[in-house]
Structure 1
Amino acid sequence: MTAEPQSYGLWLLVIVNSAVFILFALSFFRPQTQRDWRSLGAFGAFVVALFTEMYGFPLTLYVLSGWLQSAYPQVNWFAHESGHLLEMLFGWKSNPHFGPFHLLSFALIGGGFWLIAVSWHVLWTAQRQGRIAVIGPYARLRHPQYAGFVLILTGFLVQWPTLLTLAMYPLLVWMYVRLARIEERESERRFGDAYRRYAARVPAFWPAWRQKPARTP
């Protein structure tokens, strides 16, 4: 079983793609505090791990090669397109870039970046005015920016699952939840009952089907 020429070992593509997505996230998220930089740094580590296996060295495919080759002998598992594991495992016959999981990943990644961008503007305006952010995405979620990061991570995972990113994913989600809880305690100390009323109305990460718009405290 041999690899297709230039399927991997493309370290320049690892660097370029990692830099593009990290800078893209930086332009959307615009970190200001040390906590913001930690959340962006964790996202960056996930992205580097992802593109390292996508273009550099396919560790997951090597680890699973024995089982994959036995179960799916018709697939060249060291071809670059075989890294789209979900399309391959479900028997997608056409170009995996047009497969259902790949298209779903684009929707999740695009939606995540959109949510982060819209939320940042609302939060920045509220912080300048010294009030709680309760409009836009914050009328439906208390932490839309962290939810946006989770959507992006989920999209990458659906598009190109690897053992390392699968291991990192729950840790990153836990980290974002933890950071959100810290921010909530700080907001409660600052805004008191106004924030508690807001938190009682608006879910943290997943919007309710029927949610009354939060009024400005």
Structure 2
Amino acid sequence: MTAQVRPTTREAQRLQTRERILGAAIAEFKRSGMAGVEVNAIVAAAGVAHGTFYFHFPTKEHVLLELERREEARVAAQFERFLAGPHGLSDALTEVVALVRGLEERFGRPLFKELVALHFSPSRPESENWTDHPVIVLLVAEIERARDQGAVHPEVDPFSNAVFFLLGVYGVLSAGEDPDSRDVLLEKLVASTVRGLEIR
């Protein structure tokens, strides 16, 4: 039996400091947007020195990247729990919409839009493979499952369709202002995506 490794006191303090900086940065980003926040404000709110901020996060974008990773993992866990129950492809796509909207509600439109912009930015601090994004992985697997069950056309490319669908969701939520119009567009997006995938 392998013994559990406990973090040392120094490592625990390092993690606590990182969490404090992350929490302070998110609060500042919600208030003023990432571009409008100076590192001075973050370190003052977190009660740390400038050097401590840069030890944990080379740039403000890296803070946002950390937030994006955590939120994507949380959303993916919720989506995975949903997929464990009985559902159809339309239900799965509708659940993705609800989960992404929940993210927008928690962080507010300005911070949500900055997260989306960073997600698709060609200059994001670290390049990643699509398999590093658990929501895409789950959605691709769900389309593959539906295809294997004969509910989706055999020539459908699950990856492309998953990405196009998520781009549509992010686009509607980022660009639209009127909640009713966005609801209608998101419902149409789910319906048209399902129609495009089905065997005719």
Task: State the TM-score bracket (shorter-chain normalisation).
Answer: 0.3 to 0.5
TM-score w.r.t. structure 1 length? 0.31
TM-score w.r.t. structure 2 length? 0.33
Q: Which structure has the higher relative contact order (CA within 8 Å, separation 6+)? A: 1
